[in-house]
Structure 1
């Protein structure tokens, strides 16, 4: 799809703007500005009141003042490094203009004694004398109108000044074409939002601080435009995933009933609802793309298994993919019992399967004898052919972004996809990262899970903690001891884990303590984990490799050293490793005092609640979205005006509007659809544009 001609002026080089040379254009890149259109959304972050005063007397310094003065005597500096001073009088007061490193001849020309000028800048008092150091503006009285009453202040980088930005913005604004409206007219009228062009002009010409807040009408409209463009992109991705004919997999319910009847407990209402949503999606000929979001211990495994049974009941196969071999084996262990109840054949395929063993599994898969396969990425290899694959469950511990989801579809196996995540995601992030998917949430805990008692302990009390641990081990309990994260360096992580391992082994005895860390060969790691799972060792010292999915019901103690170095979500995940059995579990968060204010707030949130969604909201409020899931790999959109954390409601409206628009006009060919295409170009939604062209 080629760029609409009406937008050409906004896509020219920056150097085509008056006053912007190659050097400035290069500097602008540091602000994310590469084309004139980018200047339109480079909004001022604050403003300065430049309204005219009669005298500096009218303000309480330090303050910014704009005033007309008569220029008096110049005093050149007597020694190097001293300032140049110019005496001036306003209507009521004499004060000084002060310049450092200035050329006298230039200042004589700029400020001729006896003439009138308008000066604007910050006035401070030194030794009882009012001074304005380096005025921001010096104008002839007849040019006074050039100075706005409220001057917008823009973000800057080296090589770009306020003046340069303001001038470039003015030229870019002059190039703005009149574009047809892309927002739903009812929505726009209800919110009282201005047209796009008026909104951009108004956002660059605030008349007071009230125009700079996110809820100001012009800014809110522009934020909505960003959310809407992003959601249209996600909806197009979703439509292109669904356009591909899936297969209707109809559940008979026979296998599911067998399993549920044999379970010692009833599924929660949330589990039953999620299974129903999944089965309904699988029954349609469209391809399912659903996210199963559940907190630690909310019973995702059962839901995933029942979904896999839908595929088997419909005469097909299912696959469950895990990011690591340890987790794949664990899924296998977790599902084996359920598969036996259902009388379904389950098998494992990882990179370790070689030779005859592998050939046998591949043959069984191709013949349909293996009904459910658990595997790692090895499942993606060319020679792995299924007899009739209907459902892929992806255990999303590695960020499985939109691109990977589309790739899974592109393998030609038009399977339904269910992505499981154990990280509760606040609604705003779920909308931003997974807007192309439908979401099922498990927000109830199965009965019988006891809350984990969480306590904060300063590192100074290490000996007490180790002593308590000794008693617990003597009573037959098992514990995790998580070592601190050391500055992104695996070598140092290893050193800190090694030291703690030696210390605990010396105190608790040989053979009782095992260790896993990132530097170990996979086979050793697996052996240490397997030994702990089997109960051969009682204490497992680990770097965070145990964070996800490890299930040892007998482990009831979790010690996290230097807990303040971890993120909230991570601490919540780690704590979720205990409290899986019938024993009362404890989690000790050890911290180095003194704690920073945010450090203390984070640890207290964790101590006071086990609700992962509340913890995630709190984490988002404290750290911001980019940090929360690591923007680099999160595929999270970067918005210029919109604020994902504080404008969730706006994002939700944008999502439902985008989905409705594409339902009514899938290829954006209606007048409104054409208008939306302009928006997608303006906001760099290249992926959306590619999807329309392909579509």
Structure 2
């Protein structure tokens, strides 16, 4: 087997200062089984924010590291990459591992040093952003890749990282799989694992949808929340046509909130320099500011334990995956978290359906399935991440059982006739692929 030894893994389990949940232990067994197999792992790990995905990925990575491979962990934002680095660095160093970080904003001398050390195999764990997929970034022996918040990366980007090694095992992580990923999972190309257990004492977030006509009522409620010592996020939507309009909307809301709650409101957005963002976040974390008005820059990687309320303005403009991510920013301590979805009364039926789903469930997989029904699953063999499903005769909602049977049949066929060219069934499958303009599938099989 590619990963024969696991002494380092056993030491890692003993080194962590808390007990793993039953789900975490079960997922680690699934990953270990994948790593022992003679094919590459392609597994999706789904677990809501704070369910312990990062530590599972790190413990799993210890097996390839011990067997001489390098590990890359890619996150969509600098904030999240740094958070992972700070979290994992003490564990890595306690086990005697070299761990480094690389982001697009790093200075050239640091980048050059990392490129050189990685190519020489001197770095065992590298955490980074899109900087990891640049041409200059080379590995001596990349064997294991973790892609965090995988719905934030395009298919081509994920592929570019795994292609930097030979026979690379890939663990993708997300709190809400996008529809295309769910479609692959239903086809059996992706194995899926779930972390459903939350850490002890954490309560499910209560979600309510409120018309924007009741804005002043919401602000009065926020004043009461803040008076109890809690903190509040207020998210303004992105207006795709113009970042200027988006920024103007956030500034306008900030000024309006500042009138109602003088000296307590901060503003954070994508145009701020990293140091300015850090300064505002510090004031918010320390409690000097109690309300943070933000664009979706806080969607991933912000961890403030006493933030209990998330207000999302124009919630009807957001996709389900984004709403679910934003909601996961609150209720991270032991206090009850609340999410308020402010919507325009004249919103479309599809928008209101999304808000209704958010009120009904906190479960990421359930949300993704509903998202799929609303948006469609994208082209399975293409790079398009969403759109109308390309099933010719199948309705996902009605035919899930039939799809599962088809997956088993397809797996059996590919095992018996890998290139679909030696058996009557294989040749018939090739003809069908040709009829449905999917002959590129045979090229994928050959690759």
TM-score relative to the length of structure 2: 0.86
- The yes-or-no answer on 1:612 pairing with 2:357 is no
Q: Is contact 1:483-1:560 (8 Å) kept?
A: yes
Quote the residue 1:249 is aligned against: 3
Cα distance, 1:684 vs structure 2: 0.9
- Quote the Cα distance in structure 1 between the aligned partners of 2:321 and 2:135: 36
Change (3 A) 1:412 1:532: same
Assess if the C-alpha contact under 8 Å between 1:478 and 1:554 holds in 2.
yes
CA distance in 1, matches of 2:356, 2:404: 31
**Does the alignment pair 1:493 with 2:238?**
no
Q: 1-side partners of 2:99 and 2:328: how far apart?
A: 27
Deviation at 1:366, TM superposition (A): 4.3
Out of 53, 66, 69, the residue aligned to residue 313 of structure 1 is 66
1:347 corresponds to which of 81, 100, 120: 100
The equivalent position to 1:544 in structure 2, one of 296, 300, 303, is 296
**Inter-partner Cα distance in structure 2 for 1:311 and 1:533:** 37
Q: Does 2:320 match 1:568?
A: yes
**Residue 665 (structure 1) shift:** 0.8
Q: Which residue number corresponds to residue 332 of structure 2?
A: 580
TM-fit CA distance, 1:306: 1.1
Deviation sequence 1:233-262 (CA, Å, 0-9, x none):
xxxxxxxxxxxxxx7123424445444554
Residue 513 of structure 1 corresponds to 265
Matched, 1:277 2:30: yes
Unpaired runs of 5+ in structure 2?
none
After TM superposition, give the deviation of residue 349 of structure 1 in Å. 0.8
For the structure 1 residues 678 and 612, does the alpha-carbon distance in structure 2 shift closer, same or farther, using more than 3 Å as the test? same
Cα 1:626–1:663 shift into 2, 3 Å: closer
TM superposition shift of 1:424? 4.2
User: What is aligned with 2:171?
Assistant: 418
CA distance in 1, matches of 2:347, 2:136: 54
**Contact 1:490–1:518, Cα closer than 8 Å, also in 2:** no
C-alpha deviations, 1:33-83, integer Å up to 9, x for none?
A: xxxxxxxxxxxxxxxxxxxxxxxxxxxxxxxxxxxxxxxxxxxxxxxxxxx
- The answer (yes or no) to whether the contact 1:250–1:314 under 8 Å persists in 2 is yes
Is the Cα contact below 8 Å between 1:481 and 1:539 reproduced in 2?
Answer: yes
Equivalent residue, structure 2, for 1:590:
342
Tell me what 2:136 maps to. 383
SS in 2 for 1:691: helix
Cα distance in 1, alignment partners of residues 324 and 267 from structure 2: 21
Structure 1 residue 519: deviation in Å? 4.5
**Equivalent residue for 2:400?**
648
SS in 1 for 2:97: coil
Q: Distance in 1 between matches of 2:141 and 2:164?
A: 14
Question: 1:505 deviation in Å?
Answer: 2.2
Q: Normalized against structure 1, the TM-score is what?
A: 0.57
Q: Which has the higher contact order (CA 8 A, sep 6+)?
A: 2
TM-aligned CA distance change 1:449 to 1:261, over 3 Å = farther
Instruction: Confirm or deny: 8 A CA contact 2:145 2:168 kept in the other structure.
Output: yes
- The aligned counterpart of 1:556 is 308
| CA deviation after TM superposition for structure 1 residue 327, in Å | 2.0
2:118, 2:366 → 1: CA distance? 43
**Partners of 1:328 and 1:463 in 2: CA distance:** 37
CA separation in 2, counterparts of 1:609 and 1:258? 34
Q: Distance in 1 between matches of 2:360 and 2:307?
A: 22
Query: What aligned pairs does 1:131-530 form with structure 2 within 5 A after superposition?
Result: 248-260=2-14, 262-264=16-18, 266-340=19-93, 342-395=95-148, 396-401=150-155, 403-424=156-177, 429-431=182-184, 435-486=188-239, 488-510=241-263, 512-520=264-272, 524-525=276-277, 528-529=280-281
CA distance in 2, matches of 1:307, 1:621: 33
* CA offset digits 1:513-562 (Å, max 9, x no partner): 22233455566556544654565643221222322333222322111123
Q: Does the 8 A contact of 1:497 with 1:542 survive in 2?
A: yes
CA distance in 1, matches of 2:374, 2:352: 12
Gaps of 5+ in 1: 1-246
Per-residue deviation at 1:499?
A: 0.4
* Kept after mapping to 2: 8 A contact 1:515/1:542: yes
| CA deviation after TM superposition for structure 1 residue 682, in Å | 0.9
Counterpart CA distance in 2 for 1:408 and 1:635 is 25
Aligned mates of 2:114, 2:158 — CA distance in 1: 26
Q: Is 1:659 the counterpart of 2:411 in the alignment? A: yes
SS in 2 for 1:397: helix
> RMSD between aligned alpha carbons?
3.3
Instruction: From the CA coordinates, give the structure whose radius of gyration is larger.
Output: 1
Q: SS of 1:391's equivalent? A: strand
Q: Is the partner of 2:45 in helix, strand or coil?
A: strand
Asked whether 1:688 is paired with 2:441, we answer yes
Residues 530 and 285 of structure 1: is their aligned pair in 2 closer, same or farther, counting only changes over 3 Å?
A: farther
1:418-439 CA-partner distances (Å, limit 9, x unpaired)? 1112214679933368742322
Structure 1 residues 169-190: Cα deviation after superposition (integer angstroms, max 9, x where no partner): xxxxxxxxxxxxxxxxxxxxxx
